[in-house]
Structure 1
Amino acid sequence: MPLKDSLAALIVIVAWGVNFVVIKVGLQEIPPFLLGCLRFALVALAAFFVPRPAVPWRLLILFGMTLSVGQFAFLFTAMTVGMSAGLASLVLQSQAFFTVLIAAILLGERVRLQNVLGMAVAAAGLVLIESGAHSGNVTVLGFVLTLAAAFCWACGNIVVKFVHKVDVLGLVVWGAVVPPIPFLLLSWAFEGKAAIYHSLANLSVVGVSALIYLALIATTLGYVLWAKLLTRYPVSKVAPLSLLVPVVGLVSAMLLVDERLGALQWLGGVAVMLGLAINVFGLRLLRRGTALR
């Protein structure tokens, strides 16, 4: 991989890993549904300059409602009611297993042995993480909502399968046109008019910076660079890089917001990462492990 593509991959990994800390910072000033509304409204402004991709509106709506509204409504709420930034970055990766299961049920795709083994190992890790849900940095509700966010992400992945090859920037930008209205309605209904006005009137430089980061860096730049890498290299070479996102998420959470995990949560995190690795690498990982003996 040339240096410029390696740098692009590094930018995506760091941007998505630090993203969870930025979300936590943003949620200190902006309630979750309003944060989702503002995040995607900023991205959607680019629709005035970016042509709409050749994608039917029904798919754009499904893309926006699953990958954006569903995923981030649950994730932002989870981090509000009790989910640490570091663990959120890890648990959200369970979307890989949900994607495999949904694709098997709806599309008839074959579930391989490596998928089943990876799911089993990762599930054991998730149980360990949940068992430490009263440690102070995660609650049972926060954990469950993060899993719901991962499920919505997986549903969005299935929608993308029907989109085929389109301009990625156009898909990201026009997919962001859908979420602001549902998020605003959710904010109005559950957070209230007073909370909306108060948040907007009292936004600090930190809050605005977090919002810009989420909209421009994590969403627009991150997804566009990632998609370009997928078009230039085999999925088998690019996909494993996403395993580094939770690592950056956990480390940045420790360094930037002083999050600390219990022993069971660390053990569970290692198990989830191992399960993800098995799901991606499959028998190659086992063969290499055997060869090292």
Structure 2
Amino acid sequence: MPIGHILLAVSVAAIYGLAFVAIRIGVDEIPPLLLTGYRYFFAALPLVFFVPVPKIAWRWPIAFGVMQGAVMFGLLFMSIAFGLPPGLASVVVQMQVFFTIVFAAIFMKESVRPMQALGAITALVGIVAIGVGRANIAPILPFVLCIAAAAAWGIANMIAKIMPPTEPLPFVAWSSLAAPLPLFLASMALEGTRFGLPDQMPSLPVIGSIVFLAWPTTVYAFTAWVFLLRSHSAAKVTPFALLIPVFGLSGAAIAFGEELDPLSIVGIVLIFTGLSINVFGKRTGRRLRLLFGRPG
């Protein structure tokens, strides 16, 4: 990869990781579903006035926007609002990789390679370790909500996988427009808010968090990631996703002094190991077969 593309990939991982800090800043003041609605409202507007409508059936941007924007991120914002540390959330939600593999195997009949299964089992053990550790020090609900968010992300990945190809920027803009309405309605029903309106004017840090979540995170990072995937093989691009929790954990430690219990640290190591096996396992297995399969 050219150095410019490497720096682009690192910037995407950094933005995605630091977004968890922005979420925490926002949900400390604004109800999580309402905040998620703001994220997508301001990601879509005014962008939809400057980009063309995607040249695919409307059901695709609507389905993706509702599943990823309203369901996945709504659950993730709720998990952080209810007490899951943002750095830890940045690790747990990466279970979306394995939910995607499972859903692809079930609904698209894709085969699961042995290394993928090993990676998933390793990460699952890590999730159990974190769950046990969290149960000893805090309510388990935020952790469960984050797992549900990872599952919803896996479903959104399935939608993106089966839909017709389209230009990424128009798709981001118009799919984002599908999320605010269900989020504002859910916020009215569950959080007691007025439709799309906060109880008071948000503070400057919260306004900054909304801007960061709407533009650098939703518009720039997603579009740049799709560009990288179109320019290089997935094997070259996807390892950079492992940097997202690194930035998430580092940012949360600096911003909030986030500390992790020993079981959570063990769980994080196991999840990273599982993700690494999933990303690098195929190439490692091929090299081992070549090494040990050669005649003496």
TM class by shorter-chain length?
Answer: over 0.9
CA contact (8 A) 1:117 1:275 kept: yes
CA shift digits 1:57-92 (9 cap, x unpaired): 111111111111111111011111121101100000
CA 1:269 to 1:288, structure 2 compared with 1: closer, same or farther past 3 Å? Answer: farther
Q: Distance in 2 between matches of 1:272 and 1:288?
A: 23
Work out whether 1:131 is the aligned partner of 2:132. yes
Cα distance in 1 for residues equivalent to 2:29 and 2:287: 48
Give the alignment of 1:6-21 within 5 angstroms. 6-21=6-21
> Following TM superposition, by how much is the alpha carbon of 1:165 offset from its aligned partner in structure 2, in angstroms?
2.4
The CA distance in 1 between the partners of 2:56 and 2:116, in whole Å, is 31
Give a deviation string over 1:84-127, Cα, whole Å, max 9, x none: 10110000000000001101111111111011101110011011
How do 1:1-293 and structure 2 match up within 5 A? 1-45=1-45, 46-134=47-135, 136=137, 139-193=139-193, 197-199=197-199, 201-285=200-284
Matched to 1:107, the amino acid is: M
**Alpha-carbon distance in structure 2 between the residues aligned to 1:219 and 1:55:** 20
Structure 2 residue matching 1:133: 3-state secondary structure = helix
Mapped partners of 1:28, 1:151: distance in 2 = 25
* 3-state DSSP of counterpart to 2:202: coil
Contact map agreement 1:135 1:262 (CA 8 A) in 2: no
The residue identity in structure 1 corresponding to 2:121 is A
1:236 to partner: Cα distance? 0.6
Contact 1:33/1:187, CA 8 A, preserved across alignment: yes
Matched residues in 2 for 1:181 and 1:71: separation?
A: 15
Shift of 1:168: 0.4
User: Aligned equivalents of 2:56 and 2:104: distance in 1?
Assistant: 21
Query: Distance in 1 between the 2:112 and 2:157 partners?
Result: 16
Would you say the 8 A contact 2:188–2:194 is kept in 1?
no
RMSD: 1.8
- One-letter amino acid matched to 2:167: D
Instruction: State how far apart, in whole Å, the 2-side matches of 1:173 and 1:198 are.
Output: 24
Letter of the structure 2 residue corresponding to residue 3 of structure 1: I
What is the alpha-carbon distance in structure 1 between the residues aligned to residue 52 and residue 285 of structure 2? 46
Figure out how many residues of one structure are paired with residues of the other and give that number: 289
Find the residue that maps to 2:134 and give its secondary structure.
coil
Identity rate of aligned residues, in percent? Answer: 37
Take 2:50 and 2:150, find their aligned partners in 1: how far apart are those partners? 31
Structure 1 alignment gaps of length 5 or more = none
Partner SS, residue 282 of structure 1: helix
Whole-angstrom distance in 2 between the partners of 1:169 and 1:194: 31
Unaligned runs of 5+ in 2: 292-296
Q: Could you tell me how far 1:26 is from its partner in structure 2?
A: 0.6
Q: 1:22 is aligned with what amino acid?
A: A
1:97/1:198 Cα in 2 relative to 1: closer, same or farther (>3 Å)? closer
Kindly provide the amino acid, as one letter, of the partner of residue 78 in structure 1: S
Superposed CA deviations along residues 254-273 of structure 1, whole A, max 9, x for unmatched, are 11111000111111100000
Asked if the contact 2:119–2:278 (Cα under 8 Å) also holds between the matched residues in 1, the reply is yes
Confirm or deny: 8 A CA contact 2:242 2:275 kept in the other structure: yes
Taking a change above 3 Å as real, the CA distance of residues 141 and 106 of structure 1, as seen in their structure-2 partners, is same
Residue identity matched to 2:54: P
SS for the counterpart of 1:52 is coil
C-alpha contact 2:67 2:156 (8 A) present in aligned 1: yes
Q: Which amino acid counterpart does residue 168 of structure 1 have in structure 2?
A: P
> Could you list the per-position Cα deviations for residues 249-293 of structure 1 after superposition, in whole angstroms to 9, with x for gaps in the alignment?
1111111111000111111100000001111111434677998xx
- Does the 8 Å contact 2:78/2:145 carry over to 1? yes
